[in-house]
Amino acid sequence: MKLQAITMAALLSVSGVAVSAQRQIDLSLSNDTALLRYTMPISYSSAGRTDADFGLLYTEANDLLAMAGIAMIGEAGSQAPGLDGGVGFRLYGASLDNGADIGSVTIGGTLKYVPPTMNRVGFVGTLDYGPDITTFGDAKRFMAFNARVEYQVLPAATIYLGYRNVETRLERNNVDVTLDEGGHIGLKMSF
């Protein structure tokens, strides 16, 4: 009987988390780039959830960057209400207009802060880094940084303004190449 009660409580706690985490489509645009991402939760626990995400970045210079990753996400701690954190890894693959082909396995982190008194506003920062040892093809290293301010206009729709920097170092001439750097606007929808 005790095992059944524990199992029922565990199922109820997981189902409560499952309702709050949803699939998302996220489109961000600048004058020179378009990034489309799809995120879906794949598991839940009392500590948080695990998300899988897939994305495609296209630039005006005809560079194409694909990405896929997994991240564990949860509350940063009871001493910091409104602060969520995440860690994970992501695989990037790029084909650049200059003929370079790049691949990188990165580790990264995410922080999101939603002030308790302003629950529609959020501040998000992410960083993914792939050193020499996990970057292959025509590149030596890879880095993707993103920061944004969000505003939830509807329960299932959020708009944002952000800054993104995606760069790599080419192996053949040891030159840094920037795939994307600058501001963008975006819309994220949950379903």
Cβ neighbours for 40, distance < 8 A, ≥ 6 positions apart: 23, 24, 51, 52, 53
The residue-averaged pLDDT of 64-93 equals 91
Structure tokens at 32: 């020179």
Measured at the CA of 148, the angle between CA 78 and CA 141, to 5 degrees, comes to: 100
Q: Are 144 and 162 in contact (CB under 8 A)?
A: no
Q: Are 142 and 102 in contact (CB under 8 A)?
A: yes
Q: With a cut of 90, say whether residue 82 has pLDDT above it.
A: no
pTM of this structure: 0.84
pLDDT digits (tens, 9 = 90+) for 145-183: 999 999 999 999 999 999 999 999 998 888 899 999 999
Structure tokens at 106: 């990165």
Identify the pLDDT of residue 14: 40
Identify the pLDDT of residue 68: 97
Q: Are 48 and 34 in contact (CB under 8 A)?
A: no
Q: What is the CA radius of gyration of the chain?
A: 19
pLDDT digits (tens, 9 = 90+) for 115-147: 989 989 999 999 999 999 999 999 999 999 999
Identify the pLDDT of residue 125: 97
Structure tokens at 148: 């944004």
